[in-house]
Structure 1
Amino acid sequence: MVSTSIRRAAAKRLRANTTPHERILWRALKELPVEGTHFRRQAPIGPYVVDFFCPAKHLIIELDGGHHNDDETARRDQERQRWLEQEGYRVVRFWNSEITRDLTAVLERIYVELYGSRDAEAELLKHRRRR
Structure 2
Amino acid sequence: MIGYKECLFYNTNPEIHQRAKDLRKNMTPAEKVLWKHIRNRKLGKLKFRRQHPIDIFIADFYCHELKLVIEIDGGIHQLPEHREYDIGRNAEMNDMGIEVIRFTNEEVLNSIEQVLKRINETVKGREPYDVH
Which band: TM-score by shorter chain?
A: 0.7 to 0.9
SS of 1:57's equivalent in the other structure is coil
Which TM-score applies when normalising by structure 2? 0.83
* 1:85 counterpart letter in structure 2: N
1:33 Cα deviation after fit? 5.2
Q: Where does residue 102 of structure 2 map in the other structure? A: 93
Q: Is 1:10 paired with 2:10?
A: no
What's the counterpart of residue 44 of structure 2? Answer: 34
Say if 2:52 and 2:59, in contact at 8 Å, map to a contact too. yes
State the partner residue of 1:115: 124
Structure 1 unaligned spans of 5+: 118-122
Structure-2 change in CA distance of 1:127 and 1:105 (3 Å): farther
Instruction: Tell me the equivalent position of 1:66.
Output: 75
- 1:71-110: CA deviation from partner (whole Å, max 9, x where unpaired): 1111111111110011100000001110112101100111
Q: Which 5+ residue runs of structure 2 have no aligned equivalent?
A: 1-10
Report the number of matched residues: 121
Pick closer, same or farther for the CA change 1:87–1:4 going to 2, 3 Å.
same
CA deviations on 1:14-37 (whole Å, 9 max, x unpaired) are 1011100000000011262533x1
Q: Percent identity?
A: 34
For residues 57 and 82 of structure 1, the distance between their equivalents in structure 2, rounded to whole angstroms, comes to 17
**Does the 8 Å contact 1:53/1:61 carry over to 2?**
yes
2:29 aligned residue: 20
Equivalent in the alignment of 1:47? 56
Give the Cα–Cα distance (whole angstroms) in 2 for the partners of residues 10 and 33 of structure 1.
26
Report the alpha carbon displacement of residue 115 of structure 1 after superposing the two structures with TM: 1.5
Q: Does structure 2 conserve the Cα–Cα contact (< 8 Å) formed by 1:53 and 1:60?
A: yes
> Given that residues 55 and 127 in structure 1 are in contact (C-alpha distance below 8 angstroms), is that contact kept between their aligned partners in structure 2?
no
Q: Distance in 1 between matches of 2:12 and 2:116?
A: 33
